[in-house]
Amino acid sequence: MKITPIIGIEVHIELQTKSKMFCSCSASHFQVEPNTHTCPVCLGLPGALPVPNQTACDYCIKLGLALGCSINRETFFERKNYFYPDLPKSYQITQLQQPFCIHGQVILDGHTIRINRAHMEEDTGKSVHQHLNGVDATLLDYNRSGVPLVEIVSEPDILSPEMAKDYLLKIQQIVRYIGVSDADIEKGSMRCEPTVNLKIETDNQTFYTPLVEIKNIASLTGVQNAIQFEIDRQTEAFTQTHEVKSAANKTTRGWDAVKNQTFLQRQKEGSADYRYFPEPDIPPIVLTDEHIENLKNSIPELPDQKIARYQRDFGLNNYDAGLLASDINFAAGFDTAVGQHPSPQMAKFVANLFLGAIKTYLNESQTQLDIAQINPDFFNNLFQSVTNSQISATVAKQVIVDSLKTGQDPVAIATSKGLIQVSDSEEIKKLAQAVIDQNPKAVQDYKKNPASIGFLIGQLMKASQGSANPQIAKETLEKLLQ
Amino acid sequence: MSSLNQLTLTQAVDGIKSKKFSASELVQDCFDRIKKLEPHLNAFISLDKTTALAKAQKIDFDKPLAGIPIAVKDNFCIKGIKTTASSNLLKNYTAQYTATVVSKLEDAGAIIIGKNNMDAWAHGSSTETSDFGPSKNPWNFDYLPGGSSGGSAAAIAADEAIAAIGTETAGSIRQPSAWCGVVGLKPTYGRVSRYGIIAMASSMDCPGPITKTVDDAALILSLISGHDIHDATSLPQKSLNLNLSKKDLKGLKIGLPKAYLPDNIHPAVKDLILQAAQTLKSLGAQIIDLDVLDPQLSVAAYTVLQRSEVSSNLGRYTGIRYGGPRSEFGDEAVRRIMLGTHTLSSGYYDAYYLQAQKVRTLIINDFEHQFNQVDAIIGPTSPTTALPVGSSKGESMFGEMADLLVEPSTLAGLPGISLPCGFVDGLPVGLQIITPQLREDLALNIAHLFESNTDFHLQKPKL
């Protein structure tokens, strides 16, 4: 029996616009006092009308472009009619027939995951279930009602829980790169609903298990665990029931992160009838090529492009390039630090600093890199000093962090701390003679075993307070001991 | 001098500005009239005499409608005021904000004296579907005023207010205006903001004035029109220049569609429309017979589209908010919700909603074609005069038949005006004039010339 998981994911990204999708209320709602960011429009009061937020539409299109989508030049909004207490108009304004963005893709290690669409819609309010005054109550908070959402629907091209995680990380990274949302799964600004079933090949026959959509997942680990659970559950269910996919047996299951299992939420009797029709309150939207071109030009270099460039131009390996590009701010810091047209040696040197000392410092101090503090001249000076042996690689790591903290030239810091390597042979000769005079036993050891010169070098370095060029120190000692 | 409440809007504006009388006197006079007639007419759902009189005490004479008592249909939200759309379900609903049109009128100095009765949710052409009892026709209390802005038209015909604001989805301004013998103007869709009006069918809803003269309608339209940032369907537009200065209709081609004088039309109504055409001809217009699409097609398309939108718009009245439970929806609303839910449901959408939208496009194209030949189109506003109280009971297509001749232009978003053109058995008959989109100026000029050369608008019901 060969089992292949078939996974598609619907991702909702909450756009971080100032105002909501169809009114001028503030779109911020995380930890905001309930029902304080509301107005007739997002409360769905009689007579109120939606006016689309141009910035939100532009963000949606930018995101679509960053995902390689084509943009529909003529689009319109539609009403999706259904009842839910936190849906104040009893319809959600969304896009069905002509979404802003269609047919994109994300590539993960050479495997393409097709994106069916990315469309614009509005968020619902929030139902808060509470025990209140002795009764179980559902409270409604409409702060989230009308917050702009982009829904990204993938094709079922994802083959494993790990790939699902990588796909989501990629989406998250792209969203953060173009700056339209913080895409934080824990805070709910990025939400993931995988649909999972299995292709089962056995005895020269192929079966497809019923589709299951999983809701209520609040973390990346949750996504992986929920998908893995479904794969196992469906495998077992199939061996027992042999039930296969039909138009009528798609179900919705919730994810219980505590019990680490999915549970049946809704049995769909055929497909729900949302009675979609074009939203009469909003005229159709016609996008010009010029507008789309402008949006395209406003998209920064994306992670995949950056990684390719770092490999191509700087000779970095895929792993290091990927680490540098993981966060747009960090990558921007690196790009600033290397300056215009650096040599591959210089770029590698700076990359090592970023992936080593600087990353460690940022992690330990839990700070964000301040691009304004990055001076490419400093990095260049440091690189030159290390190249001509004035500064050791170890000292470079130390002073670059000090430089970031203080805004001073790292070479100047090294100088003031006396960390410049001494390459002056007379000076080193004096130190070497002193070390030989003070360590007769070590000198005897050396005579028996030349490999033991390390001790004497160490003593010399110590005497120079680390400033001696170790290579010259070694050569000088060897000369004197001949 | 006749009593103050009988003044037209322009007369009342002049009178207050020239201090012939005070705003307080005018407002008081309207309330006296209301007190006398409301037991018979039931044209108002709510009145606010105290506030109105207080406002009349301190008016700004520089404003164009300084101190003018105006009535608005009860589907306009006014902050702090009960706004029911004549429905039981909203009988305790107090609006939380004010409709753009009402704000514009108040900014222009108008005093809102009360809110008019209507068909519940604007579903009807009789005012009989009002959950608070029907309004009556001032010309004969045994007859209906039409609807859905029936209360507004009745109030103006009976001089209970100087002017009124109604809404029309298809006929709801023009048809009651015709039946009550007043002027009703339905502007181009998008000319006037819909923000704050309880939605009926969003792609066609349109607010407009109901007045005693064409001049009055022009004045109100100039004040309430304009782009509104709260209504994405309101058109970017220049301010309206509604100078009704045409001296004659020379060079103008006016079409009279044969289909607008169908076999089942009341013969006396048909005669009056033909006479009106003669009047326009005598003013210099060329009257041209037109072959237009059968209005029955519009009725079919309109019915599907309107019900579809209604079913979605009324979805929010779930019983959780706004007070009343869904069981308080009247029969007409329930019928429309059910039909509209059906026409949008999967498997039926293509056959009904989508097909109706295609027909709508054909109707728009047909009007474009007609307007290549003529400058304006005329016809009866309604095939009949006012019908007796009780006529709409059990007739679920009553409104569609009463509005047969206004539904085509509604579907095309065109402006149209209805004005008095005669009487049959003591009941008024309305002439409608339809022009291309955003050509309210032309419709008003033609109407104004017709009015200036006839005296139907000067006749008043004996009350």
Asked if A282 lies within 8 A of B229 by C-beta distance, the reply is no
Give a yes or no: residue A294 inside a domain: no
Instruction: Please check whether residue B197 is in contact with residue B441, taking contact to mean a CB–CB distance below 8 angstroms.
Output: no
What is the pLDDT confidence band of residue A269, given thresholds at 50, 70 and 90? low
Do A326 and A411 lie in a common domain?
yes
Q: Which of A130-134, B268-272, B432-436 has the least mean pLDDT?
A: A130-134
Beta partners for residue B460, in sequence order: none
Q: Which residue has the higher pLDDT, B237 or A156?
A: A156
> Residues of A74-88 as b/e, b for ≥16 C-beta within 10 angstroms?
ebbbbbbbeeeebbb
- Looking at the fold, whether A393 and A433 belong to one and the same domain comes out as no
CB count in 10 Å sphere of residue B258: 11
Angstrom CA distances, B337 to A67, A89, A94, B61, B313, stand at 41, 15, 22, 47, 9
Domains with residue ranges and CATH for chain B: 4-458 (3.90.1300.10)
Helices then strands (H, E): number in chain A?
A: 16, 17
The percent of residues in chain A predicted with pLDDT above 90, rounded, is: 62
**Paired strand residues for B378:** B433
Does some domain include residue A386?
Answer: yes
Q: What is the mean pLDDT of residues A399-418?
A: 81
| Mean per-residue pLDDT, B74-86 | 97
Question: Is A295 within the bounds of a domain?
Answer: no
Q: Do residue A307 and residue A285 come from a single domain? A: no
Q: What is the pLDDT of residue A116?
A: 98
CATH (domain of A473): 1.10.10.410
Span B363-404, pLDDT tens digits = 999 999 999 999 999 999 999 999 999 988 877 777 767 788
A170 with A200, same domain: the answer is yes
Q: Return all residues near A271 (Cβ < 8 A) that are at least 6 apart.
A: A247, A250, B346
Q: In the 8-state DSSP scheme, what is residue A142?
A: -
Interacting residues of B311 by C-beta distance below 8 A, sequence separation 6+:
A81, A275, B336, B337, B338, B339, B340, B341, B343, B344
The domain of A315 spans 301-416
Q: Has residue A471 been placed in a domain?
A: yes
What is the per-residue pLDDT for B69? 98
Chain B interface, mutation test: which of A20, A21, A43, A49, most B Cβ atoms within 10 Å?
Answer: A49
Token digits for B34? 């209301």
Q: CA A94, CA A117: separation in Å to the nearest integer? A: 13
Cβ contact, residue pair A85, B320, below 8 Å: yes
Task: Chain B: give the shortest CA distance to residue A142, in Å.
Answer: 13
User: A130: burial class by Cβ within 10 Å (0-12, 13-18, 19+)?
Assistant: exposed
Q: How far apart are CA A54 and CA B283, in angstroms?
A: 50
A285 and A305 both lie in a single domain: no
- Tell me the CA distances in angstroms from B181 to B8, B170, B238, one per residue in order: 14, 18, 31
Residues in chain A: 482
Q: Does residue A119 surpass a pLDDT of 50?
A: yes
Active site residues of B: 73, 148, 172
What is the largest distance, in Å, between two alpha-carbon atoms of chain B? 66
For residues B127 and B135, give the distance between their C-alpha atoms in angstroms, rounded to a whole number: 6
Write down which residue in A262, A289, A316 finishes a domain: A289
* Kind plus residue range of the DSSP H or E element containing A70: strand A70-71
Indicate whether A319 and A366 sit together in one domain: yes
Same domain, A220 and A321: no
Residue B433 in tokens? 């004039």
Same domain, yes or no: A230 and A122: yes
Domain co-membership, A242 together with A120: yes
A6-22 burial: b if 16+ Cβ within 10 Å, else e: bbbbbbbbbbbbebbbb
Residue A296, in any domain of the structure:
no
Q: Is B152:B166 a contact under the CB 8 Å cutoff?
A: yes
Residue A120 lies in a domain: yes
What tens digit of pLDDT does each residue of A336-378 get? Answer: 988 888 888 888 888 888 898 888 888 888 888 888 888 888 8
Contact A283 B93 (CB under 8 A): no
Spell out where B340-456 has E strands.
376-380, 416-424, 427-434
Backbone angles phi, psi at A359, to 5 degrees: -60, -45
**Closest by Cβ to A40, choosing from B75, B97, B318:** B97
Tell me the one-letter amino acid at B260.
Y
Q: Is residue A154 part of a domain?
A: yes
Q: Is B197 in contact with A47 (Cβ distance < 8 A)?
A: yes
Residue A318 above 70 pLDDT?
Answer: yes
The answer on A235 and A166 residing in a single domain is: yes
The residue type at A30? F
Same domain, yes or no: A381 and A432? no
CA distance B31 to B37: 10
Residues of chain B neighbouring A46 (CB-CB closer than 8 A): 77, 83, 85, 90, 93, 95, 198-199, 316, 322
Interface mutation target, options A23, A86, A277, chain B, most CBs of B under 10 Å: A277
> Phi and psi for A51 in degrees, rounded to 5?
-125, 120
Instruction: Scan for tokens 């026959």, then name that residue.
Output: A205
Pairwise CB contact (< 8 Å): B312 & A48:
no
First-to-last alpha carbon distance for chain A, in angstroms, is 75
pLDDT bracket for residue B354 (50, 70, 90) = very high
Provide the pLDDT for residue A359: 87
ipTM metric: 0.95
Pairing of strands B183-186, B416-424: antiparallel
C-alpha span between B121 and B84 (Å, rounded): 8
A216 and A362, same domain (yes or no) = no
Whether the CB-CB separation of A60 and A270 falls below 8 Å is answered with: no
Closest CA of chain A from B321, distance in Å: 9
Please list, in sequence order, all residues whose beta carbon lies within 8 angstroms of the beta carbon of residue B181, skipping any fewer than 6 positions away.
Answer: B139, B157, B420, B423, B428, B430, B456, B457, B459, B461
How far is Cα B337 from Cα B313, in angstroms, rounded to an integer?
Answer: 9
Count structural domains, chain A. 3
Q: Is residue A118 part of a domain?
A: yes
Residue B267, helix vs strand vs coil: helix
Estimate the crossing angle of helix A425-438 against helix A453-463, to 10 degrees.
120
